A = this chain, B = another copy of it.
Amino acid sequence: MTSNLRIDGSRLWATIHETAQFGPGQAGGVNRLTLSPADGQVRDWFRRACEVAGLTVSTDDLGTQYALRRGRDASAKPVAFGSHLDTQPTGGRFDGILGVLAGLEVMRTLDEAGIETEAPLLLINWTNEEGSRFAPAMMASAVYAGDYTTDEILARRDAAGVTVAEALQAIGSVGEERVGARAFGAFVELHIEQGPILEAEETAIGVVEGGQGIAWFDGSITGFESHAGTTPMTRRRDALLGFSEFCLAAERIALAHGPSAVATIGEATIAAPSRNVVPGGVAFTLDLRDPRSETLDAIESELRGSLDEIAGGRKLTSEFKRIWRKEPVPFDSAIVGAVARATEALGLTSRRMISGAGHDACNVAMKAPTSMIFVPCRDGVSHNESEWASEGDCTAGANVLLQTVMALANRATDETGAAG
In the bound complex, how far is the Cα of B264 from the Cα of A276, in angstroms? 7
A267 touches B275 (CB 8 A): yes
Is residue A243 contacting chain B, with contact meaning CB distance below 8 A?
yes
**CB-based nearest B residue for A194:** B230
- Chain A, interface residues (CB within 8 Å), range: 35 or more
Is residue A4 contacting chain B, with contact meaning CB distance below 8 A?
no
A82-120 interface code vs B (CB 8 A; 1 in, 0 out) = 000000000000000000000000000000000000000
A229 touches B357 (CB 8 A): yes
A287 touches B228 (CB 8 A): yes
B251 touches A233 (CB 8 A): yes
Is residue A333 contacting chain B, with contact meaning CB distance below 8 A?
no
Q: How far is the CB of A367 from chain B (nearest CB, A)?
A: 22
Given A230-B357, A233-B258, A248-B244: A273 touches B267 (CB 8 Å cut-off) = yes
Q: How far is the CB of A378 from chain B (nearest CB, A)?
A: 13
Choose one: B231, B240, B265, B382; the contact of A227 (CB below 8 Å): B382
Is residue A69 contacting chain B, with contact meaning CB distance below 8 A?
no
Q: How far is the CB of A251 from chain B (nearest CB, A)?
A: 6
Segment with Cβ contacts to B, from A5-13, A277-285, A335-343 = A277-285
Residues 184-242 (chain A) with a chain B CB within 8 angstroms: 193-197, 200, 212, 214, 216, 226-235, 238, 240-241
In the bound complex, how far is the Cα of B235 from the Cα of A196, in angstroms? 8
**CB-based nearest B residue for A285:** B275
**CB-based nearest B residue for A261:** B233
**CB-based nearest B residue for A218:** B275
Is residue A289 contacting chain B, with contact meaning CB distance below 8 A?
yes
Q: How far is the CB of A51 from chain B (nearest CB, A)?
A: 35
Is residue A75 contacting chain B, with contact meaning CB distance below 8 A?
no
Is residue A24 contacting chain B, with contact meaning CB distance below 8 A?
no
A227 touches B275 (CB 8 A): no
Residues 151-196 (chain A) with a chain B CB within 8 angstroms: 193-196
A278 touches B266 (CB 8 A): yes
Q: Closest 8 CB pairs between A and B? A: A195-B230, A229-B356, A230-B356, A228-B264, A244-B244, A244-B247, A267-B273, A228-B287
**Contacts A/B (CB < 8 Å), 20 sampled:** A195-B229, A195-B231, A195-B232, A196-B231, A197-B232, A227-B380, A227-B383, A228-B264, A229-B358, A230-B355, A230-B356, A230-B357, A233-B254, A238-B264, A244-B248, A266-B279, A267-B270, A269-B273, A275-B285, A276-B287
Known: A241-B247, A266-B275. 14 other contacts (CB 8 A): A195-B232, A196-B230, A196-B231, A216-B275, A226-B380, A227-B380, A228-B264, A228-B287, A229-B287, A233-B255, A234-B258, A238-B264, A240-B265, A268-B268
